[in-house]
Structure 1
Amino acid sequence: MSVLTAPAASAPLDTVADFPAIPDGWAYLDTAATAQKPQAVVDAITAAYGETYATVHRGVYQRSADMTLAYEAARRRVAGFIGAGSPDECVFVRGATEGINLVAQCWAGTQLKAGDRILLSMLEHHSNIVPWQMAAERVGAAIDVVPLTTDGRIDLDAAAAMLTPAHKLVAFAHVSNVLGSVLDVERAVALAHGVGAKILIDGCQAVPRVPVDVTALGCDFYVFSGHKLYGPTGIGVLWGKPDLLDAMPPWQGGGSMIDKVSFQRTTYAAPPGRFEAGTPHIVGALGLHAAIDYVESIGLERIHAHETALVAQARDALATIPGVRLFGPADSAGIVSFAMEEVHPHDIGTILDEARVAIRAGHHCAQPLMEALGVAATARASFGVYNGPRDVEALIAGMARVARIFG
């Protein structure tokens, strides 16, 4: 799904009891940074380390064989979750950052040449900027930046006017980590492919919030991190089209990624093993499997409707507080960024913390976007399945206190 219609109203979620790290009365509104973990994920990780742990792809003993089956079952679960054609299209990485760097080194580093161009947008996370800068510097390519619409979306009309046959890669966020704006991925893909460019989509903020089908979207690469999907840190996924992965060289050498090694010549395994050198984050993959099970037991359509309702409640209430400026579109996906005149976002975050409301304050690893917005930083409230109207009320009460303190 790329163009999202207004989600149908549904009963509020009542899942906070599933999250042992959220005490009563604590409003955790920093899910865009990292999601809290449901007990089902904690239990899966505990069991994997405490009862069934063994290496994978190596041992001939039964427990190792069982753990290998569980690890590859997690890959199959991921493939089904994002609509991949085959589990072999899904590479386990440490997170979206590593996935983007992998593509920047193994695809861009071998396919780009001097004079080629890369197209990014103004709202990208640093992880979807810096790896492309590094790749461009190595080969002599150039980077162009798409501006935003007035409501904070990637301006695809501007992108259409900017794209030329010299552009070999487009890299956009599916959902902005600052503004919550949702990209029309299918149109972005059509524009990129129209000039012969490949397109990578950063799905970190999308995968926990909206249904994703990479085959239907038509993109060439898609990346996301497990810890934003209610799973553990240190695990993420790079999905790539099979022909692209097959043509890419490995980016790290070591065990597991080889076919045959000699001092004269080494040949490499087929994807995804080619890109998974060394002992993998076995338990992380199992935790990610449990997280996907948990999210799908609720339903992404319900999650999106729930978070959209909370965003609307928060934006409407924040708009009544004098001096507050809201950023991004009204229909943002689970994220509300704002600022208050004459008050630094860090002060907002500190005062809210005293009221047991946890938000993010800063540039959110999006300094070029902050410059475009004309601010040094913003405060950001981001919602998850465990949040409810009371959390929004706590946010607004805290902001009223900020207003009183700063006059």
Structure 2
Amino acid sequence: MSNISKTNDQILDFDYQLKAQDDAFPTLKVLDNDGKIVDEKALERADLSDDDLINIFHNMLLNRQLDIRSTKLARQGRFGFFAPTAGQEASQMASAYAFHDEDWLFPGYRDIPEIVAKGWPIWKAILWSRGHVVGNEYTTDDGKEVNSWFPQIIIGAQYVEAAGVALGLKKRNKKAVSYAYTGDGGTSQGDFYEGMNFAAAYHANEVFFVQNNGFAISTPRKLQTAAPHLAAKGWAVGVPSLVVDGQDAIAVYLAAKEARAWAVSGKGPVLIETLTDRFEAHSTAGDDPLRYRTKEDIADWWKKDPLIRMRKYITDKGLWDEDKENDYIAQIDARIDEDIKKADNIDKQKISDYLKNTLEVPGYAMKEQIEKFESEGK
């Protein structure tokens, strides 16, 4: 009787419930800020070879250089919309490394690097940012299909789209999954819940990522929701959910790998919240982070730079050094230079092209407009 009373007391103890929520999601961590392993068993479970470690770090460096070069192009007026990614390299690239070519990626607009990691040419990413139709061709330079949806501009909508594909993969008995990314702001959207609920109800092959970078544009995470952990929202639909140190590439990879294995086995989706940060503005479209953040806050996060952490680890293992890094960055820059030239040399779209691409079957008025602009060479 006393045990029942104690349980009932806890059920009715709302302070206890809040504390229980906070305690329910410990953070998965393998690599600390100094590049030291804090969980040898987790490292062994990740089963990353030396080549894997180098490949992940290569992708993280590619991510950082894309951020640096894209920001410069945007300031020169040579880029379209761009959402900086500095600070999220482990969250993005280490997670993406756990998935396979046959898996379907559903990115948000900040997740261009994950598509590039799947083989999407950088020059097409540049064209996408400029609104050019060729930027919506998801093929490699040699014509191979890249299993990715377009970078979704509507916040959280990719969760619904990914859930549909995940169910399709399950019904076709495919050993593949769809995986979708959104930010902490995306969890405040109805599509976020609806996509997860649908995938959970049908035990679809899906892995959902929430990159908790602290701000939905200028709104801090604490003003978006009272939930102590965004991963708790996965529990609301019956989805296994976990919180990961998003600056720790090995922990992020391990979580993604295990989640993919669960989902591809037909057991249903998984939600992963990565605790990370965007060191820069929300986008290059006039956002000033110092209007809602402090220099001290940003400087503290730079000390947790995922590149520093991973660099220290692989350097201590004898796999990396400064010369190797400089050489690889030079390769990346040369690649980006070539892709910029290629994007710049693509034929500009005409007004008639935009109209033709708007509807599969244009209406009468649109046909007249197309004919008019074509006759004018526009």
Q: Identify whether the pair has TM-score above 0.5, normalized to the shorter chain.
A: no
The structure richer in strand per residue is 1
The structure richer in helix per residue is 2
Normalized against structure 2, the TM-score is what?
Answer: 0.28
Normalized against structure 1, the TM-score is what?
Answer: 0.27
